[in-house]
Protein backbone atom coordinates (compact mmCIF):
# COMPACT_ATOMS: atom_id res chain seq x y z
CA UNK A 1 0.00 0.00 0.00
CA UNK A 2 1.44 3.35 -1.03
CA UNK A 3 2.42 5.99 1.47
CA UNK A 4 -0.17 8.49 0.23
CA UNK A 5 -2.92 5.87 0.38
CA UNK A 6 -2.02 5.13 4.01
CA UNK A 7 -2.05 8.85 4.78
CA UNK A 8 -5.47 9.27 3.20
CA UNK A 9 -6.90 6.29 5.08
CA UNK A 10 -5.39 7.48 8.33
CA UNK A 11 -6.72 10.98 7.77
CA UNK A 12 -10.18 9.64 7.00
CA UNK A 13 -10.23 7.57 10.20
CA UNK A 14 -9.07 10.57 12.23
CA UNK A 15 -11.79 12.75 10.69
CA UNK A 16 -14.42 10.10 11.47
CA UNK A 17 -13.25 9.90 15.09
CA UNK A 18 -13.36 13.70 15.40
CA UNK A 19 -16.88 13.72 13.91
CA UNK A 20 -18.09 11.07 16.34
CA UNK A 21 -16.53 12.89 19.30
CA UNK A 22 -18.04 16.16 18.12
CA UNK A 23 -21.51 14.66 17.85
CA UNK A 24 -21.16 13.02 21.25
CA UNK A 25 -19.99 16.27 22.80
CA UNK A 26 -22.85 18.14 21.13
CA UNK A 27 -25.43 15.74 22.54
CA UNK A 28 -23.87 15.96 26.00
CA UNK A 29 -23.82 19.76 25.92
CA UNK A 30 -27.42 19.78 24.67
CA UNK A 31 -28.55 17.60 27.58
CA UNK A 32 -26.63 19.74 30.06
CA UNK A 33 -27.99 23.00 28.66
CA UNK A 34 -31.68 22.08 28.71
CA UNK A 35 -31.41 20.70 32.24
CA UNK A 36 -29.61 23.80 33.52
CA UNK A 37 -32.16 26.03 31.78
CA UNK A 38 -35.03 24.08 33.32
CA UNK A 39 -33.60 24.41 36.84
CA UNK A 40 -32.60 28.07 36.50
CA UNK A 41 -36.13 29.00 35.39
CA UNK A 42 -37.79 26.75 37.94
CA UNK A 43 -35.83 28.19 40.85
CA UNK A 44 -37.29 31.64 40.15
CA UNK A 45 -40.58 30.23 41.43
CA UNK A 46 -40.47 29.61 45.16
CA UNK A 47 -41.74 26.62 47.10
CA UNK A 48 -41.43 24.06 44.31
CA UNK A 49 -39.35 20.89 44.18
CA UNK A 50 -37.54 21.47 40.89
CA UNK A 51 -35.84 18.07 40.90
CA UNK A 52 -39.19 16.31 41.26
CA UNK A 53 -40.59 18.38 38.42
CA UNK A 54 -37.58 17.54 36.24
CA UNK A 55 -37.98 13.84 36.96
CA UNK A 56 -41.68 13.96 36.03
CA UNK A 57 -40.82 15.97 32.93
CA UNK A 58 -38.25 13.41 31.79
CA UNK A 59 -40.46 10.45 32.60
CA UNK A 60 -42.88 11.58 29.88
CA UNK A 61 -40.42 11.29 26.98
CA UNK A 62 -37.08 9.70 27.95
CA UNK A 63 -36.20 6.43 26.16
CA UNK A 64 -39.21 6.85 23.86
CA UNK A 65 -39.70 7.33 20.14
CA UNK A 66 -39.78 11.18 19.83
CA UNK A 67 -42.76 10.88 17.47
CA UNK A 68 -44.74 8.68 19.82
CA UNK A 69 -45.16 10.67 23.05
CA UNK A 70 -48.90 10.95 23.76
CA UNK A 71 -50.45 14.06 25.28
CA UNK A 72 -51.41 12.20 28.45
CA UNK A 73 -47.74 11.38 29.12
CA UNK A 74 -47.44 14.86 30.65
CA UNK A 75 -50.49 14.49 32.91
CA UNK A 76 -48.40 13.60 36.02
CA UNK A 77 -46.24 16.71 35.51
CA UNK A 78 -49.28 18.98 35.15
CA UNK A 79 -50.96 17.32 38.15
CA UNK A 80 -47.93 18.05 40.33
CA UNK A 81 -48.35 21.83 39.86
CA UNK A 82 -52.02 22.39 38.96
CA UNK A 83 -52.99 25.81 37.66
CA UNK A 84 -54.48 28.14 40.25
CA UNK A 85 -55.74 31.13 38.31
CA UNK A 86 -57.53 34.27 39.45
CA UNK A 87 -60.90 34.74 37.80
CA UNK A 88 -61.18 37.46 35.13
CA UNK A 89 -57.42 37.50 34.49
CA UNK A 90 -56.82 34.65 32.04
CA UNK A 91 -55.49 35.68 28.62
CA UNK A 92 -55.43 33.29 25.66
CA UNK A 93 -53.67 34.12 22.42
CA UNK A 94 -53.18 32.96 18.86
CA UNK A 95 -50.41 34.22 16.58
CA UNK A 96 -49.72 37.20 18.86
CA UNK A 97 -47.13 35.73 21.19
CA UNK A 98 -44.65 38.60 21.44
CA UNK A 99 -47.29 41.29 21.77
CA UNK A 100 -49.42 39.51 24.36
CA UNK A 101 -46.38 38.89 26.53
CA UNK A 102 -45.31 42.49 26.18
CA UNK A 103 -48.68 43.35 27.68
CA UNK A 104 -48.56 40.80 30.51
CA UNK A 105 -44.98 41.75 31.34
CA UNK A 106 -46.03 45.37 31.85
CA UNK A 107 -49.23 44.55 33.73
CA UNK A 108 -48.63 41.33 35.64
CA UNK A 109 -51.50 42.23 37.95
CA UNK A 110 -54.01 42.34 35.08
CA UNK A 111 -53.59 39.30 32.85
CA UNK A 112 -51.90 35.92 32.95
CA UNK A 113 -51.06 33.66 29.99
CA UNK A 114 -50.00 30.03 30.07
CA UNK A 115 -46.39 31.14 29.57
CA UNK A 116 -46.59 33.24 32.75
CA UNK A 117 -47.24 30.14 34.88
CA UNK A 118 -44.55 27.90 36.38
CA UNK A 119 -44.42 25.16 33.73
CA UNK A 120 -45.25 27.50 30.87
CA UNK A 121 -42.45 29.86 31.85
CA UNK A 122 -39.91 27.05 32.25
CA UNK A 123 -40.56 25.33 28.93
CA UNK A 124 -41.47 28.31 26.76
CA UNK A 125 -39.16 28.47 23.73
CA UNK A 126 -37.39 25.18 24.49
CA UNK A 127 -36.99 22.19 22.17
CA UNK A 128 -36.56 18.73 23.68
CA UNK A 129 -37.05 15.03 23.06
CA UNK A 130 -35.95 11.61 24.16
CA UNK A 131 -34.33 8.93 22.03
CA UNK A 132 -35.52 5.36 21.90
CA UNK A 133 -33.00 3.16 23.70
CA UNK A 134 -31.21 6.15 25.29
CA UNK A 135 -31.47 7.89 28.63
CA UNK A 136 -31.63 11.65 29.00
CA UNK A 137 -33.34 14.62 27.43
CA UNK A 138 -31.93 15.96 24.17
CA UNK A 139 -32.28 19.32 22.48
CA UNK A 140 -30.66 18.33 19.18
CA UNK A 141 -32.10 16.09 16.51
CA UNK A 142 -35.66 16.50 17.79
CA UNK A 143 -38.70 16.59 15.49
CA UNK A 144 -40.14 20.01 14.73
CA UNK A 145 -43.64 21.08 15.73
CA UNK A 146 -45.24 19.83 12.50
CA UNK A 147 -43.00 16.85 11.73
CA UNK A 148 -45.16 14.41 13.67
CA UNK A 149 -48.33 14.78 15.70
CA UNK A 150 -47.13 13.24 18.97
CA UNK A 151 -43.72 14.86 19.40
CA UNK A 152 -42.85 15.75 23.02
CA UNK A 153 -43.04 19.55 22.66
CA UNK A 154 -46.39 19.50 20.91
CA UNK A 155 -47.84 16.96 23.34
CA UNK A 156 -46.73 18.99 26.36
CA UNK A 157 -48.29 22.23 25.10
CA UNK A 158 -51.53 20.46 24.22
CA UNK A 159 -51.69 18.96 27.71
CA UNK A 160 -50.79 22.23 29.44
CA UNK A 161 -53.20 24.27 27.30
CA UNK A 162 -56.09 21.97 28.13
CA UNK A 163 -55.38 22.20 31.86
CA UNK A 164 -54.92 25.98 31.66
CA UNK A 165 -58.29 26.40 29.95
CA UNK A 166 -59.93 24.07 32.49
CA UNK A 167 -58.70 26.37 35.27
CA UNK A 168 -59.97 29.61 33.68
CA UNK A 169 -62.96 31.30 35.28
CA UNK A 170 -65.06 34.45 35.04
CA UNK A 171 -64.46 36.74 32.06
CA UNK A 172 -61.59 35.50 29.86
CA UNK A 173 -59.74 37.39 27.13
CA UNK A 174 -58.23 36.24 23.84
CA UNK A 175 -55.77 38.22 21.73
CA UNK A 176 -55.90 37.40 18.02
CA UNK A 177 -53.94 38.75 15.07
CA UNK A 178 -55.28 40.83 12.22
CA UNK A 179 -52.11 40.02 10.26
CA UNK A 180 -53.54 36.68 9.16
CA UNK A 181 -56.52 35.94 6.95
CA UNK A 182 -57.94 33.60 9.60
CA UNK A 183 -57.57 35.13 13.09
CA UNK A 184 -59.49 32.23 14.61
CA UNK A 185 -57.51 29.41 13.04
CA UNK A 186 -59.25 26.04 13.55
CA UNK A 187 -55.88 24.25 13.57
CA UNK A 188 -54.43 26.39 16.38
CA UNK A 189 -54.22 25.20 19.98
CA UNK A 190 -56.49 28.08 20.96
CA UNK A 191 -59.25 26.89 18.63
CA UNK A 192 -58.80 23.13 18.79
CA UNK A 193 -58.17 22.78 22.53
CA UNK A 194 -58.62 25.86 24.70
CA UNK A 195 -61.91 27.21 23.37
CA UNK A 196 -63.53 23.77 23.49
CA UNK A 197 -62.85 23.51 27.22
CA UNK A 198 -64.36 26.85 28.26
CA UNK A 199 -67.70 26.06 29.85
CA UNK A 200 -70.40 28.09 31.61
CA UNK A 201 -71.04 28.88 34.37
CA UNK A 202 -67.35 28.59 35.31
CA UNK A 203 -66.51 30.90 32.40
CA UNK A 204 -69.07 33.67 31.96
CA UNK A 205 -67.84 35.52 28.86
CA UNK A 206 -64.98 36.01 26.43
CA UNK A 207 -63.52 39.33 25.33
CA UNK A 208 -61.68 39.13 22.00
CA UNK A 209 -58.87 41.57 21.24
CA UNK A 210 -58.03 41.85 17.56
CA UNK A 211 -54.56 43.35 17.06
CA UNK A 212 -54.30 45.32 13.83
CA UNK A 213 -51.56 47.17 12.02
CA UNK A 214 -51.54 49.06 8.74
CA UNK A 215 -52.44 46.88 5.78
CA UNK A 216 -53.89 44.27 8.12
CA UNK A 217 -55.43 41.24 6.40
CA UNK A 218 -58.35 40.94 8.83
CA UNK A 219 -60.47 43.02 11.14
CA UNK A 220 -63.30 42.48 13.60
CA UNK A 221 -65.68 41.49 10.81
CA UNK A 222 -63.61 38.47 9.77
CA UNK A 223 -65.80 35.43 9.19
CA UNK A 224 -63.62 33.22 11.38
CA UNK A 225 -64.74 35.16 14.46
CA UNK A 226 -68.26 33.97 13.79
CA UNK A 227 -66.88 30.44 13.94
CA UNK A 228 -65.41 31.34 17.33
CA UNK A 229 -68.81 32.48 18.54
CA UNK A 230 -70.40 29.27 17.32
CA UNK A 231 -67.78 27.15 19.07
CA UNK A 232 -68.18 28.81 22.47
CA UNK A 233 -70.54 27.40 25.07
CA UNK A 234 -73.97 28.90 24.20
CA UNK A 235 -74.54 29.64 27.88
CA UNK A 236 -71.66 32.12 27.90
CA UNK A 237 -72.16 35.79 27.03
CA UNK A 238 -71.74 35.69 23.26
CA UNK A 239 -73.14 37.63 20.35
CA UNK A 240 -75.45 37.10 17.48
CA UNK A 241 -73.35 39.49 15.40
CA UNK A 242 -69.81 40.70 15.71
CA UNK A 243 -68.74 43.94 17.28
CA UNK A 244 -66.12 46.17 15.77
CA UNK A 245 -63.64 47.99 17.97
CA UNK A 246 -60.49 49.89 17.23
CA UNK A 247 -57.71 51.62 19.13
CA UNK A 248 -56.18 54.50 17.21
CA UNK A 249 -52.71 55.94 17.75
CA UNK A 250 -51.96 53.92 20.86
CA UNK A 251 -48.30 53.23 21.45
CA UNK A 252 -48.20 51.55 24.82
CA UNK A 253 -49.94 48.60 26.40
CA UNK A 254 -51.26 48.26 29.90
CA UNK A 255 -51.29 52.01 30.55
CA UNK A 256 -53.87 54.76 30.43
CA UNK A 257 -52.43 55.81 27.04
CA UNK A 258 -53.91 52.66 25.55
CA UNK A 259 -57.36 54.14 26.12
CA UNK A 260 -56.73 57.21 24.01
CA UNK A 261 -58.57 57.25 20.72
CA UNK A 262 -60.48 54.06 21.46
CA UNK A 263 -64.06 53.72 20.44
CA UNK A 264 -66.21 50.65 20.80
CA UNK A 265 -68.94 50.02 18.29
CA UNK A 266 -71.58 47.52 19.27
CA UNK A 267 -74.57 46.39 17.22
CA UNK A 268 -77.26 49.07 17.22
CA UNK A 269 -78.70 50.34 19.49
CA UNK A 270 -75.68 49.63 21.73
CA UNK A 271 -73.29 52.25 20.36
CA UNK A 272 -71.01 53.19 23.24
CA UNK A 273 -68.22 55.69 23.75
CA UNK A 274 -64.98 55.14 25.60
CA UNK A 275 -66.35 55.99 29.02
CA UNK A 276 -68.95 53.23 28.80
CA UNK A 277 -67.47 50.73 26.42
CA UNK A 278 -63.98 50.52 27.82
CA UNK A 279 -64.01 49.93 31.51
CA UNK A 280 -61.29 49.41 34.05
CA UNK A 281 -61.58 46.74 36.63
CA UNK A 282 -59.60 46.70 39.84
CA UNK A 283 -57.60 43.60 40.62
CA UNK A 284 -55.67 43.50 43.86
CA UNK A 285 -55.94 47.24 44.28
CA UNK A 286 -54.63 48.19 40.84
CA UNK A 287 -56.73 49.19 37.86
CA UNK A 288 -56.48 47.19 34.68
CA UNK A 289 -57.59 47.94 31.18
CA UNK A 290 -60.98 46.37 30.56
CA UNK A 291 -61.16 45.13 27.00
CA UNK A 292 -64.55 45.91 25.53
CA UNK A 293 -67.97 46.08 27.10
CA UNK A 294 -69.65 43.02 28.47
CA UNK A 295 -73.11 42.88 26.93
CA UNK A 296 -74.93 39.77 28.05
CA UNK A 297 -77.87 40.32 25.73
CA UNK A 298 -75.75 38.87 23.20
CA UNK A 299 -72.44 40.29 22.33
CA UNK A 300 -68.93 38.99 22.05
CA UNK A 301 -66.83 42.08 22.80
CA UNK A 302 -64.08 42.47 20.25
CA UNK A 303 -61.39 45.14 20.63
CA UNK A 304 -58.58 46.01 18.26
CA UNK A 305 -55.26 47.75 18.74
CA UNK A 306 -54.29 49.81 15.73
CA UNK A 307 -50.79 51.01 14.85
CA UNK A 308 -48.89 48.79 17.27
CA UNK A 309 -45.68 46.87 16.69
CA UNK A 310 -45.75 44.22 13.94
CA UNK A 311 -46.78 40.70 14.85
CA UNK A 312 -43.26 39.38 15.38
CA UNK A 313 -43.44 35.69 16.19
CA UNK A 314 -40.25 34.52 17.85
CA UNK A 315 -41.53 31.04 18.61
CA UNK A 316 -41.57 29.09 15.32
CA UNK A 317 -44.27 26.78 16.53
CA UNK A 318 -47.41 26.72 18.59
CA UNK A 319 -50.64 28.68 18.64
Catalytic residues: 87, 169
**140 touches 27 (CB < 8 A):** yes
Instruction: Encode burial over 266-291: b for 16+ CB neighbours within 10 A, e otherwise.
Output: bbeebebeeeebbeeeebeeeebbbb
- What does the longest C-alpha to C-alpha distance in the chain come to? 95
**CB 42, CB 122: distance < 8 Å:** yes
For the sheet with 262-265, list strands across it: 91-94, 170-177, 203-212, 302-306, 244-247, 262-265
Opening angle at CA 147, ends 141 and 150, nearest 5: 95
Return the closest-CA partner of residue 130 out of 138, 140, 119. 138
Measured over the CA atoms of residue 50, residue 51, residue 52 and residue 58, the dihedral's sign is: positive
Specify the 3-state DSSP secondary structure of 95.
coil
CB 93 within 8 A of CB 174: yes
174 CB-side CA count, 13 A: 28
Separation in Å, CA 226 to CA 113, 213, 222, 251: 24, 21, 8, 29
Judged on CB neighbours under 10 Å (0-12, 13-18, 19+), 298 is middle
Amino acid sequence: MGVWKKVLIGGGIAALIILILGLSLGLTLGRTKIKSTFFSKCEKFKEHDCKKLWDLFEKAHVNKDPCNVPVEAYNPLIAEVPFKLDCNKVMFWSNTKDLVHDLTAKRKDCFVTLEDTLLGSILDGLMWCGKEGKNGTFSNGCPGWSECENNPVRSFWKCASAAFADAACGDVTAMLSGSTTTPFDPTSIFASIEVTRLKAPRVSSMNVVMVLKKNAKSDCTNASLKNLQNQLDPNMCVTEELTTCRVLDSTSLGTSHALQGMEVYLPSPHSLLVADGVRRRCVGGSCCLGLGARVCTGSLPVAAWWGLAPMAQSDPFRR
